[in-house]
Structure 1
Amino acid sequence: MTRVRSDDYESKSQAIMDCAAALFAKEGYPAAKMQDVAKACGATKSMLYHYFPAKDDLLFAMLQEHLQRLIAALEEALTGKGKPGERMQRLVQAYMQKSVQSRRRHMVAMSDVKFLPKAKQAPLITLQRQLAELIAGLLRELNPHLSDALYKPYTMMLVGMLNWTDFWYSSSGAVKPQELCDRMARLFLNGFLAEKG
């Protein structure tokens, strides 16, 4: 029996997740079948099951990897030098870059996690909370005089703005990616800094 080298295994599992993300985004997770994923990947069902024993395993791996990469990008953006406002700019840019790099996975993450069994949802929810805590920590630095109860709603407002951009924004339009990031950061930052309470 030939063993698959780990780098081959990694690249093949990535290719499968990319194909599946495109299919799930187009057809919807509930409608897509593993045989559809195999066909989209140009693979056999048995080869697909070698990497992902069930459709839930495939979705879970895809979403877990997407969230882990997004968290790593935000941590890097936030640990660099600079004032909190500069780090907000870097955070928005890092979030948008990671979303663009895995646009279909991001869209699937937004809509399909609810289809996973609760046991598989739990680690993803933990990662989502970790991501939210990173952003909330920066917001506390930016405006430390707000009531503690307000940081979560503001965090979710910012995350909502960043997440939904994938559904309407086109880089070929009048507003280029860097300008969009600049405008989003300024819009949120200027409004947030003016808030009291």
Structure 2
Amino acid sequence: MPRVRSDDYEAKSHAIMDCAAALFAKEGYPSAKMQDVAKACGATKSMLYHYFPTKDDLLFAMLMEHLERVVQGVEEAIVLKATPREKLLTMVEAYTQKSTQSRRRHMVAMQDIKYLPRAKQTPLIELQRQLVDRVAALLREVNPGLPEDTYKPYTMMLIGMLNWTDMWYRPGGTMKPQELCDRISRLFLKGFLAEKG
């Protein structure tokens, strides 16, 4: 039997995750069955099980990849040689771009992590925690000297705004992606920078 090339394997597993994300977003994770995913992908169940032995494995891989990409985008923005405000704008752009590229995965990540067993939830929750920590560190740079317990609520408000944007925003609409990022950054900064230590 010929050995499957790594890039072929990656491409097929990504295609399966994309099909599954669309199905999970439409039908809901609990209702979707592996045979439905196979049908949506134009694959056999046995081929699907070769890549993902269980539906939980498929959901876990999808969410892990998505969250890793978002965290990486945020980290890249934070280490830029730029002013804190410029870093924030870059972070908003990176976060929005990463989630838009995998809009359905993002929706699934927000809604379906709770269906995974605890052992599979734990590394995903850790990635979410890393994301919160990175954004909070950036907010400390943007407005230093605030009481420490101020940063976490603002971090969660910003992440919440970015997460829910994916539910309503349509890139092909009248507001272009760059304008959306600029508006989010301005709206957030006006309130956050009004906070005094």
* DSSP 3-state at the match of 1:65: helix
Amino acid of the structure 1 residue aligned with 2:195: E
Matches within 5 A, 1:122-141: 122-141=122-141
Quote the offset at 1:180 in angstroms: 0.7
Quote the offset at 1:172 in angstroms: 2.5
Quote the offset at 1:51 in angstroms: 0.4
1:101 aligns with 2:114: no
Q: Distance in 1 between matches of 2:172 and 2:35?
A: 34
**Where in structure 1 are there 5+ consecutive unaligned residues?**
none
TM-score (norm 2): 0.98
* DSSP 3-state at the match of 2:81: coil
Listed one character per residue, the Cα deviations across residues 51-94 of structure 1 (whole Å, up to 9, x for unaligned) are: 00000000000000000011111111111111100101000000
Matches within 5 A, 1:51-70: 51-70=51-70
* DSSP 3-state at the match of 1:56: helix
Quote the offset at 1:27 in angstroms: 0.3
2:76 is matched with which residue? 76
TM-score (norm 1): 0.98
Aligned CA-pair RMSD? 0.8
Listed one character per residue, the Cα deviations across residues 108-150 of structure 1 (whole Å, up to 9, x for unaligned) are: 0010000000110000000000011110000011112211112
Identity rate of aligned residues, in percent? 73
Q: Distance in 1 between matches of 2:178 and 2:109?
A: 24
Q: Distance in 1 between matches of 2:173 and 2:101?
A: 18
1:31 aligns with 2:31: yes
**Where in structure 2 are there 5+ consecutive unaligned residues?**
none
Q: Distance in 1 between matches of 2:173 and 2:117?
A: 39
Quote the offset at 1:156 in angstroms: 0.5
* DSSP 3-state at the match of 2:82: coil
1:21 aligns with 2:24: no
What is the aligned residue count? 197
Amino acid of the structure 1 residue aligned with 2:116: L
